[in-house]
Amino acid sequence: MIHDLTGPRVIDSFKEIGVERVWDPDRIVIIFDHDVPPSTIKAAELQRKVRSFAREQGIRSFYDVGRGGVCHVVMLEKGHVKPGELVVGADSHTVTYGALGAFATGVGATDMAAVLATGSIWLRVPESIRFEVSGKLPKLVSAKDLILHLIGMIGASGATYKAMIFAGEAVQSLGMDGRATICNMSIEAGAKAGIVEPDEKTIQYVRERTAEPFNPIKSDEDAEFSETYEVDASRLEPLVALPPRVDDVKPASELSGVEIDQGFIGTCTNGRLDDLRAAAEILKGRKVKAGVRLIIIPGSQEVYRRALEEGLLRIFVEAGAIIGAPGCGPCIGISRGVLADGETCISSANRNFVGRMGSPKARIYLASPATVAASAIAGRITDPREVVG
């Protein structure tokens, strides 16, 4: 998988190799999502370059502006990922696809060019860390809160070049949207992959999206793990990661003095339908506080359509939020919500690094869609349980 931001560099590297044709156009996916519609002439030219490459190479799984959405949402919902597969993407959050029991990881432009040319790649098999999550997540506590807790527990380098295996009652109770969230952020702990072993939910989800055969793989009964952690999900609460580290995690209830300028709900982490439903539950019949901007961007055209059919978009508009076209939006600081000096944003994205969403003098807090929505209403970081009893 390549997208509009990494695609041009991959194509340049591919041409330097000197081969004329990709190894298999039917096993390559291209998705435009990072700067859509293009915000500059340069972006438009680069996207035209990728379009031409897709046409020349006969790559049919090409999702242009208005036909796809965020790559890591589209890859799952369009059936491009199946249990037991190895998937590589020219984007670090390719680890998301482990939600379906695949081994998925991000690679650089040069490695990806070699994959396009040869259909092969060298990878060292990583050790695995197992997270056994028992119990049930409390009301208004989500998969985002779970993964923030785990990253806060082991640290931003706690899983470097290891696979994070998520298991247990709480994980199995999550739908595919929630599983995608925890796998997506495994890279924020340095992981090579994040994996939820496939179960009947996984099988049903995949079979609804592809007729191609697949072979689900699970850990052996006597599998060895470098570390095993046990977590009780019932003891979790809404959490927030403080800038500029994803592993500096505190309860939302302890940060009520932090005023915000902007809230953002979307991205490859939390732009799926269940995420928008959670935000709508908080925002219904309420208003975004004056002086606060709330930006909501559905993760894909499919999510956008279903949110429209369910009346979620109307709830957002009536609350005073603005809805963006499916794509990455302000997550990477290119357009549609860039932050100014000194501004504070609470975001459902996956990174709060310095300068990530615009000015290096802005501050980004990470939280679940419910916590972002509640904070937009209050004008300060807020535990969603304060808004919905």
> Residue 182 — pLDDT band, cuts 50, 70, 90?
very high
Look-up of token digits 């794509």: 327
State the Cα–Cα distance between residues 333 and 349, nearest whole angstrom.
12
Q: pTM (2 decimals)?
A: 0.96
Q: 215 pLDDT exceeds 90?
A: yes
Assess whether 195 and 246 both reside in one domain: no
Distances (CA, A) of 164 to 227, 252, 296, 310: 10, 25, 29, 34
Assess whether 51 and 162 both reside in one domain: yes
pLDDT of residue 389: 73
Angle at 33 between CA 358 and CA 302, to 5 degrees: 125
Assess whether 244 and 232 both reside in one domain: no
Assess whether 152 and 203 both reside in one domain: yes
Q: In the numeric block, which tokens belong to residue 68?
A: 């796809």
CATH number at residue 293: 3.30.499.10
Checking DSSP bridges between strand 249-251 and strand 239-241, what pairing results, if any? antiparallel
State the Cα–Cα distance between residues 204 and 315, nearest whole angstrom.
31
Assess whether 140 and 263 both reside in one domain: no
Containing 76, the helix (H) or strand (E) segment is helix 71-77
Distances (CA, A) of 251 to 217, 254, 379: 36, 6, 17
Q: In the numeric block, which tokens belong to residue 104?
A: 């998925």
Assess whether 248 and 350 both reside in one domain: yes
pLDDT tens for residues 102-133?
Answer: 999 999 999 999 999 999 999 999 999 999 99
Distances (CA, A) of 313 to 72, 261, 316: 22, 22, 5
Assess whether 89 and 39 both reside in one domain: yes
Which of 213, 236, 259 is where one domain is finished? Answer: 236
Cis peptide before 244 (omega within 30 of 0): yes
Percent of the chain with pLDDT over 70: 100
Assess whether 251 and 195 both reside in one domain: no
Assess whether 211 and 254 both reside in one domain: no
Assess whether 207 and 280 both reside in one domain: no
Assess whether 185 and 256 both reside in one domain: no
Q: In the numeric block, which tokens belong to residue 271?
A: 């732009």
Which of 197, 214, 236 is where one domain is finished? Answer: 236
Q: In the numeric block, which tokens belong to residue 106?
A: 């991000």
State the Cα–Cα distance between residues 298 and 272, nearest whole angstrom.
7
Q: In the numeric block, which tokens belong to residue 309?
A: 């059919």
Give the least confident one: 168-172, 262-266, 281-285, 332-336: 332-336
pLDDT tens for residues 224-251?
Answer: 999 999 999 999 999 999 999 999 999 9
Q: In the numeric block, which tokens belong to residue 157?
A: 């380098």
Assess whether 212 and 267 both reside in one domain: no
* Boundaries of domain holding 334: 240-386
Containing 196, the helix (H) or strand (E) segment is strand 193-196
Torsion sign over Cα 367, 100, 152, 136: positive
- The number of domains in the chain is 2
Which of 236, 265, 283 is where one domain is finished? Answer: 236
Q: Torsion angle, CA of 38/41/47/50, rounded to 10 degrees?
A: -170
